[in-house]
Structure 1
């Protein structure tokens, strides 16, 4: 990690545009190893420029946390109760512990609520990342993106230790 400390905080509506930019940048940085260009384009909602509309809508139901380094958003995660719904880290901050910090926070929040198991739907790129954090692959499944395109994903879960 860099010399600057990363800290987490609840996302604010004013963060939505930057979160959209992170979402786009993270997907644009992916190679066409597991998904086609068409699938990757659909995954970022056919956008090259940020648009906060979808994130603002999702903020009505999901809890969003952002990772901040040196007053800049490095990544974000969203979840609902026991399900990690989204995790995106800007390519500049990947492999620096940002994603790990966000997932660890999500698991801690679930533990604090007495939840003993969490789930996520991982892209094929992220399966190894989640496995290293203690998640277990349950099954491969088709997942329909908001745009209607279907992509293969891995349903994963993690058993939590309640204090």
Structure 2
């Protein structure tokens, strides 16, 4: 699969359950290189089974996009104005340009709104990915997960090119 074959669309409430499943699967697939087992468990909200209710609630304040392959949601991202909040791709679909396409969509949307710089709080696993996409490391910091557990993360930013409007 390459970037030309990735179909992106705005997420709908009916996508929330599968987005939750992708979130859980992506975190379960991570090794304990940067975070220990307990931190990874907290990161996926101690869930073994998907529950889209939290994502549905977040859809009121965040913009969600999903990546589709063969009518299947395989990844998603969410953002608020200039901040990328979440980015997850199912482990079976990683390294195919899906994450890149979702980040590029976010940057494009921000640029069209006149925003010249975006930020994200990246897991230590994702830092290299964002660096390859032109983000810069601002600083390493402690981040409190929704479960209350505190983990180290990388605060990152990217300057955007001005959007050309015809």
TM-score, normalised relative to structure 1: 0.98
Distance in structure 2 (CA, Å) of the matches to 1:139 and 1:54: 29
What does residue range 83-102 of structure 1 map to in structure 2 within 5 Å? 83-102=83-102
Structure 1 stretches of 4+ moved >6 Å = none
Task: Show CA shifts across 1:72-118 (max 9, x none).
Answer: 01100000000000000000100000000000000000000010000
What TM-score does the superposition give when structure 2 sets the normalisation length?
0.96
Tell me how large the CA RMSD over aligned residues is. Answer: 1.0
Work out the CA distance in 1 between the residues paired with 2:138 and 2:52: 32
Partner of 1:126: 126
Q: Give the 5 Å matches for 1:110-121.
A: 110-121=110-121
Question: Which residue does the alignment assign to 1:52?
Answer: 52
Q: CA deviation at 1:53?
A: 1.2
Number of residue-to-residue matches in the alignment = 162
Aligned to 1:105: 105
**Counterpart position of 2:152:** 152
Contact 1:121 1:155 in 2 (8 A): yes
In the TM superposition, what is the alpha-carbon distance from 1:6 to its structure 2 partner? Answer: 1.5
Q: Distance in 2 between matches of 1:67 and 1:138?
A: 28
3-state SS in 1 of match to 2:46: coil
- 1:77/1:87 contact within 8 Å kept: yes
Aligned residue number for residue 135 of structure 2 = 135
Tell me by how many angstroms 1:5 deviates.
2.1
Q: Alpha-carbon deviation of 1:148?
A: 0.6
* Residue in 1 that maps onto 2:12: 12
Q: Residue 134 of structure 1: SS of its match in structure 2? A: coil
CA contact (8 A) 1:5 1:70 kept: no
In 2, distance between residues paired with 1:35 and 1:146?
16
